[in-house]
Chain A
Amino acid sequence: MAEPMGFFTDTTVCIGCKACEVACKQWNQLPSTNGGLNTLSGDSYDNTRRLDGIHWRHVKFIEQFSENRTDGRWLLMSDVCKHCVHAACLEVCPTGAIIRTEFDTVVIQSNACNGCRDCIAACPFGVIDINPVSNTAQKCTLCYDRLQGGMEPACSKACPTQSIQFGTIRELHTKAQTRVEQLHQAGENRAYLYGADEKMLGGLNSFYLLVDKPEVYKLPPDPKMPTRNLVPGSLFALLGAVMVGLAGIFNFRNRGGGGPAPNRSGDSQP
């Protein structure tokens, strides 16, 4: 197996040019929204709106301005599938369409997916959705085809500011840590890494440098695996069945006497 590969996205140097979105769309031949008749969202410069089956990269624009707009800042972030080490989508997929590749990335095989959409509900980041052309669930593949050909993913290749960096996870962790220290030394003490360590779903193979709370970037502060509810949910369901079973047994056996019961079907009639 090749060494695990991924993305380190330094949001502090993103300029919101959306070159990553365009490169992703172009390489992966993703269709436009509504046949190209897209409407403006009214949400800053973000007309992509969210990650889905035809948007595998999404540049978020977060405006933090004072009421009179004399003070403020932009937070820009190019979002993508996190290629989680413990991937919720892969865990629940009932068809085996979602696989882990030799690069430790997570890929949906479109020819195997039947569009049950369990993975969409399972993803803690809201990354996956149905591609209306294929009617299957789709998301970033971390350009699996390019990786197999020895190339880097289209988005990081196109990024003009190196906000999106591609490489081995080990190298990226070192670079990211150095960058955080550099920012701290420069006085930006809010800088931290989101998803770099194993505490978050075993580690995200696409992790971020952020300068505000995850919620501000519309990222979950505490993403979890969906199977956390499997054992308690099953046990409670079993308890429910036992209660129903006891109610049934008690009512159909406890009728006093073993002879034929009289016709009591009208007992409860008014």
Chain B
Amino acid sequence: MNGAPSSTWFTTGPHWGWFIALYFFFGGLAGGSYFLAALIDLFGRREDRPLAHIGYYVAFPCVALSGLLLTMDLGKPPRFWHMLIESNTYRPMFKYWSPMSIGSWVLLTFGFFTLASFLGALAEDDRIPWTAFRKLRAPAAPGLVVELLGGISGFYVASYTGVLLGVTNRPIWSDTPLLGMLFVISAASTSAALMTLLAQLTRRAAPAFPGMADLHRMETWVIAIELLVFAAVVVSLGRVLSAWLNGWGLLVLIVVIPGMVAPLFFSSRNSRIRGVNIQTSAILVLIAGFILRVVIVFSSERV
């Protein structure tokens, strides 16, 4: 242990594995998609509403899957409710200074918001007969409240996992305060990529999405920001970066080059590469977003 780059080298890993890496990915997609859909609804134009629907259709299944993954990861899955209710006193369990405690509550409430908007989108698309659910979509007052609060909690769900990793004593995770920022931006880029991809794939079956070019342009902006933030994470790790001077480093390169640099290049006007379309770019961003979470979760666990 002599010469360890940080005091975090003396700790034990929590054995957070594939369930958690998958949760970070799908939780990011849930939060990011809802956040973007709410942005489109609240700041976009009426023609963009079908595009926002895609976000709501993505968010609810992803958040349901997230809850399932988190529960399955527990050592005692039937005790999942201990996160919310103190088992000895049956009082609400809430620690504002513990990201996992706040995260549990926000994930629960976010689940209700995603369900409301999911039903609202279904009703507006005439996929369910209950037209009253249309009020769960802006500009109706209940819809405005749901989307505003849902958007805020979506941001929290997309980012708190990075903050939670920081609030440990593990190598890499707690050696930089920037993981929450990286996760929220990555959630936005992967969500924009998934929404773009789904909009492209459903174009023939559904009405055209006027805002898709705007969404793709936004995705490009966010990837550019993500690249800068990732560089800042690397710089902030300092000597701890030695943990990535191995196979993890190769995966990091895959995240950066095909996952960030290539989509930026394909989007640029000077790109001379033919045959690469928005869909390919979106798939690269999604794969890189997943690998990013795998690298961050497992590379610390292996120290």
Contact = CB atoms under 8 A, between A and B. Distances in A.
Which of B9, B73, B86, B180 has the most A CB atoms < 10 Å from its CB? B180
A96 B79 CA distance: 13
Interface residues of B, number: 91
B273 to A, nearest CB: 9
Contacts of B159: 237-238, 240-241
By secondary structure, the B interface counts as: helix
Interface in B27-57: 35-36, 39-40, 43-45, 47-48
Contacts of A245: 35, 39
A237 B80 contact: no
A255 B9 CA distance: 51
A148 interface: no
Interface in A101-130: 109, 111-118, 120-130
Contact of B76 (A125, A136, A222, A229): A136
A137 B184 CA distance: 30
Which of A125, A128, A218, A263 has the most B CB atoms < 10 Å from its CB? A263
A111 B86 CA distance: 11
B166 A91 contact: no
A136 B75 contact: yes
Nearest to B217: A251
B2 to A, nearest CB: 5
B163 to A, nearest CB: 4
A116 B74 contact: yes
B216 interface: yes
Which of A115, A117, A126, A226 has the most B CB atoms < 10 Å from its CB? A226
Nearest to B177: A232
B40 A240 contact: no
Contact of B86 (A95, A117, A136): A95
Nearest to A124: B169
A269 interface: yes
B242 interface: no
Nearest to B104: A94
Contacts of B98: 91-94, 118
Interface in B94-108: 95, 97-101, 104
Interface of A: 50, 52, 88, 91-97, 109, 111-118, 120-130, 135-137, 213, 215-216, 218-224, 226-227, 229-230, 232-234, 236-241, 243-245, 247-249, 251-253, 255, 258, 260-265, 267-270
Interface of B: 1-4, 7-16, 35-36, 39-40, 43-45, 47-48, 73-77, 79-80, 82-83, 86-88, 93, 95, 97-101, 104, 155, 158-160, 162-164, 166-170, 173-174, 177-185, 188, 199-200, 203, 208-218, 221-222, 225, 229, 267, 274-278
